[in-house]
Chain A
């Protein structure tokens, strides 16, 4: 495996379910990110972790709960979601937070909330 891997690629859940999205990076990076991509909207930064510490939390509803157990793994725990939460959730990593380094993205997890 190389790069940034996201699982599952597709997820359908009801509003009362609890599920998790998983992201794993094999690049030796120190920063990891969750973005939300909805139709007709810019990419929305949700969370940033740098060296396993959360450094950004952009007013995301508490029904989204991130977890970063180590620098290679990032989770997004989902519970009691709303239909408007249906979107493509993208994970990314970078060597460090900020600076000149680019983000490397996974292929995304397409979430549909019924």
Chain B
């Protein structure tokens, strides 16, 4: 069965610094992986997804993630943090026709 683990429930970065949010998956078959963002009092919005095409996936708002099979990872990065990036980020995954499984989320704070 698919499971997703996000390392770090809270990450704090300075404005302009690199953002790195970690996600590891476990799956017996190639997974489909997603990153979502949730702003306060809103639903989840898709940032990007990996569906076994290119291993480096570019998303909205300057975010990207790289699928590394050898490390079973799908970490989310952004070169330069902006104040507006402060939100909760969720990694999610599924294998085949199974429900999407979400990680516990990582809250990103951006310090001016």
Contacts and interface: CB of A to CB of B under 8 A. Distances in A.
B107 to A, nearest CB: 11
Contacts, number: 49
B43 A43 contact: no
Interface stretch (A12-20, A65-73, A78-86, A98-106): A98-106
B104 interface: yes
A53 interface: no
A48 B43 CA distance: 17
B21 to A, nearest CB: 15
Interface in B54-90: 90
Nearest to A90: B43
B42 A41 contact: no
A48 to B, nearest CB: 6
A59 to B, nearest CB: 13
B96 interface: yes
B34 A105 contact: no
B100 A108 contact: no
A105 B100 contact: no
B15 to A, nearest CB: 27
Interface string A84-113: 000000101000011110111111101000
28 contacts: A33-B99, A41-B104, A42-B102, A43-B102, A48-B99, A56-B99, A90-B44, A92-B43, A92-B44, A97-B97, A98-B97, A98-B99, A99-B96, A99-B97, A100-B32, A102-B34, A102-B49, A103-B44, A103-B46, A105-B43, A105-B44, A105-B45, A106-B43, A107-B41, A107-B42, A107-B43, A108-B41, A110-B41
